[in-house]
């Protein structure tokens, strides 16, 4: 039920953090995985950590629609129908609101929101999704649900992912494509988290961790939820947002 055997899964942001861990765990669950990311060296390192065969990586800039289209066509031609798509690529810029100009919004929207939805749109138009049933998982953030100072643009983009996923879920249900999002809280040891600690201080880290009843989450925790949403075990779940935050927002 939870297996991804025979499935082909495309993952953006696969060279590090959540995307990387999702790729590894999807491979353990039997999927063939297409890794999208910018850094070829890191992508090939991830490939080394994966189990099974038939995986491929594609290094390019996912905010470039033409390259995205070429890569997705390549996936379809060489790996077959797409059963799952995970949009894990994301960037975060912490900035006081008064410095958050439209360019700051645009840059984060391009990666966090548009690259994900454009990937879905291309795969729909070209009929790359497996008509037997497919699953789209968009990685949002706890900040798409809860506010944080300095994160107006980032949280706006992550909120857009959650609401966009809901509308897309309704629209694609007749085609047997499920669409869900995941909102992780702070994730241990990712580049994004390290960047945040650098900017906000180690004191902030200690204080923030104390607000997580189960502690900060791991990339593996999120990858496991991705596998669930990609698998048949979640076949009636669509249009939902899984909050995966160690209880942070339960208070």
Partner 1 sequence: MKKQEFLSILAVEFNVSNDSLSETSVLEEIPGWDSMSILVIMSMVDERFGLILTANDFVEIKTIGELFTKIGPEHIK
How many CB atoms sit inside 10 A of residue 113's CB?
21
Which one from 57, 128, 154, 212 is the annotated catalytic residue? Answer: 154
Query: What is the nearest approach in angstroms of partner 1 to the Cβ of residue 63?
Result: 21
Residue 202, interface with partner 1 (CB under 8 A)?
Answer: yes
Site track 69-108 with partner 1 (rule: CB under 8 A), x = hit = -------------------------xxx-xx---------
- Cα distance between residue 208 and residue 202, in whole Å: 10
Question: For partner 1, which residue of 148, 200, 209, 224 counts as binding (CB under 8 A)?
Answer: 200
Site string for partner 1, 103-142 (x = CB under 8 A): ----------------------------------------
Between residues 146 and 237, which has the closer beta carbon with respect to partner 1?
A: 146
Which is closer to partner 1, CB of 96 or CB of 174? 96
Contact code string over 148-177 relative to partner 1, x by CB under 8 A: -xx---------------------------
Q: In Å, how far are 3, 119, 202, 211 from 192, measured between CA atoms?
A: 30, 23, 14, 19
Distance CA 172, CA 24 (A): 28
| Strand ordering across the sheet containing 32-37 | 56-59, 32-37, 8-12, 84-87, 134-139, 177-184, 241-244
- What is the 3 state secondary structure string of 187-222? ECCCHHHHHHHHHHCHHHHHHHHHCCCCCCECHHHH
154 catalytic? Reply is yes
Residues that bind partner 1 (CB under 8 A): 94-96, 98-99, 149-150, 197-204
């Amino acid at each position: 039920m939870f297996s991804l055997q025979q499935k082909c899964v495309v993952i953006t942001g696969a060279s590090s953090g959540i995307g990387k861990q999702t790729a590894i765990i999807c491979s353990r669950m039997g999927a063939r995985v297409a890794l999208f990311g910018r850094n070829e060296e890191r992508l090939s390192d991830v490939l080394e950590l994966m189990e099974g065969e038939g995986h491929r990586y594609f290094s390019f800039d996912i905010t470039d629609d033409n390259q995205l289209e070429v890569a997705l066509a390549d996936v379809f031609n060489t790996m077959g129908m797409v059963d799952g798509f995970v949009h894990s690529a994301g960037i975060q810029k912490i900035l006081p609101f008064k410095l958050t100009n439209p360019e700051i919004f645009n840059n984060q929207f391009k990666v966090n929101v548009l690259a994900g939805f454009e990937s879905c749109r291309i795969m729909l138009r070209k009929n790359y999704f497996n008509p037997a049933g497919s699953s789209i998982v968009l990685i949002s953030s706890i900040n798409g649900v809860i506010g944080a100072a300095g994160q107006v643009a980032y949280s706006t983009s992550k909120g857009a992912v959650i609401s966009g996923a809901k509308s897309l879920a309704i629209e694609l249900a007749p085609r047997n494509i499920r669409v869900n999002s995941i909102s992780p809280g702070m994730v241990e040891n990712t580049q994004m988290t390290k960047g945040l600690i650098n900017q906000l201080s180690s004191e902030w880290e200690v204080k923030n961790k104390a607000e997580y009843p189960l502690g900060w989450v791991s990339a593996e925790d999120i990858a496991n939820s991705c596998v669930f949403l990609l698998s048949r075990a979640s076949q009636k779940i669509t249009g939902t947002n899984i909050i995966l935050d160690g209880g942070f927002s339960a208070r």
